[in-house]
Chains A and B, each alone.
Chain A
Amino acid sequence: MTALGRVGAGVRAGTQSFVREPFNVVLLLVLPALSIQIYGVSLAQFPAVGIFDAAGTLETTGRITGAVFATGALAGVLGLFQMISARHADRRLALCGFPDVELVVSRLLTIAVVGSVIAGVATVTLVAILGEPVSAAPLVFVGLGVAAAAYGLLGILVGTVLPRELEGSLVLVILADVDNVFASGLFGIDESITQFAPLSHPHELVTAAVVDGQLATEHLLPAGGHLLVFAVLSIAAYTYAVGGEPA
């Protein structure tokens, strides 16, 4: 089998593992809608002035926050459970001759494929629930795609350090919670600090796409920086966990 064939087989296997777990499918279909709706209702309770730094109405900001959170959390779960369930099988694959590099590429591509599906579902759900025309839906998808990629990689990282369902999920969801509160502008924390929160740039990208119909180019570079850091860390962690040697 060629390298391309092996990577294709790896991605197919990873994607099927995700889809064949009914809980993942339920989470994929339900969490975005639930999260978008709940955040929308939640932020609408607050006074429109004061502590929030919101570009649109509070309800719209809430829904964007919900979409970003759901996308990040779902992708994080994907990365986490890939590591928990597949690390031993991947190590065996490596021993059977599957090159380390191709294994890493397969895992990252799986994150990319399933992450795109997650971002796609969240985009469609957000546009449908917002109820107002969104002129730049593809840009919403880009913003949510960045959130999915960041948390998919973080999920791999957490899954390597803490390969346990309960503890890994706990850390991941708390990270996403705190990150999301930073990104949403709740508590009015200074931007010089919140810019380090992984979800803050995807949040800005999605907000600009929804409110102005534009690509927030100034957030692309820092978002890319986050992705690069998480990619390096998660690849290092993965190769350590699976191969024991750098790919």
Chain B
Amino acid sequence: MNGRVRTLAAMGAREFARTPVLLALLVVLPVYVIGVFVLLVDDTAVPLTIDGSVVNAEMSAFAAAFMTPVTVAILAGIVGLFLMQSSQAADDRLRLAGYRAGELVTARFGLLVVGTLLVTAASLAVALTAVTPELLGWFVLATVLTGLTYGILGVVVGVVLDRLPGVYVMLFAPMVDVLMFQNPLATDPPTWTSALPGHYATELLFAATFTTSVDGTDAVAAGGYVLLLLVLGTGLLYRTTAVE
């Protein structure tokens, strides 16, 4: 990382750190969303369909595991969106002043990773009080992959859509994908739901939480999704920041 990228990333981090309300929400909302379900659900066993097999789990453990990717997807998406929307006009000026597109893209994605790790850490801190995943490392990886998927989608949406439509797409899209169509309580999910961005990462997450082995293809597919979006996001960012 050269000095110019370092300066830009450091300044971006300072900007992010100076949004105390947003930062507080990124930490408090996981406590609210995950915590409230963990506390309030009945203490019963529920049948989960994971990789085609049925596994019984405690409702509170299921709620903690399930609400983690939901929360991380929404919040990482908002981080991605914020990174784009707070800086687009000034980025143009910075590009005209001499920053190269590659430097800007590197700094912005670097910051996105930091932001995603922040919301992931906050969510895991709450979730892990209520659930002990069978394979913790894979569980964490799956959560990070969900966050990155939606974080980059937030960047893409931030580039493509205006401010307000962008906010609402990024608030509704992860909810529809993860909350409504990646729920392992479902016994009969439509096939097309496996094409949604959160599918493979959440499959990996549930397998890591409630079974003793994970399907490597889920990990590869989830990583592939992140890479694909990264390429798309990078291309769009390059185009957006293109100046003479």
Contacts and interface: CB of A to CB of B under 8 A. Distances in A.
Contacts of A45: 181, 183, 186-190
Contacts, number: 89
A165 B19 CA distance: 13
Contact of B180 (A38, A51, A166): A38
Interface residues of B, number: 41
A42 B180 contact: yes
Contacts of A181: 37, 179
B1 interface: no
A167 interface: yes
Contacts of A169: 167-168, 171
A240 interface: no
A238 interface: no
A44 B186 CA distance: 9
A171 B25 contact: yes
B127 interface: no
B63 A167 contact: no
B138 interface: no
Interface in B30-44: 32-33, 36-37, 40-42, 44
Interface residues of A, number: 32
A100 to B, nearest CB: 27
A42 B42 CA distance: 22
B29 A174 contact: yes
A113 interface: no
A173 B167 CA distance: 10
A165 B78 contact: no
Interface of B: 21-22, 25, 29, 32-33, 36-37, 40-42, 44, 46-47, 59, 63, 74, 78, 81-82, 85, 162-165, 167-168, 171-172, 175-176, 179-181, 183, 185-190
